Amino acid sequence: MKVLDGSGVPSGVLATDEIIEAIYYAADNGARVISMSLGSPFQSAVEQDAVNYAHGQGVVLVAAVGNDGNENIY
């Protein structure tokens, strides 16, 4: 599944909603690995819930860190 276009721009209006929907969809439809390269200075409880759900379904989630050049790790 691809949520963002080739330049990293959301394919729809609300990228966070699309990302969350994609995580749930992948977890519910047999994904074994979800690879994400996302960057935001904000934390999202609903995104965390989606990640926790997928992890609980046995999905391995891989995510890049430091996309924004910030040295803080969340």
- pLDDT tens over the chain, length 74 residues: 777 666 655 555 457 888 899 999 999 999 999 998 776 777 889 999 999 999 999 999 998 766 555 555 55
User: Taking the CB of residue 65, how many other CB atoms lie within 10 A of it?
Assistant: 13
pTM for the predicted model, two decimal places: 0.75
The residue with tokens 């209006």 is 13
What pLDDT does residue 1 have?
72
Q: Considering only CA atoms, give the Rg of the chain.
A: 12
Cα torsion 11, 18, 41, 67: sign? negative
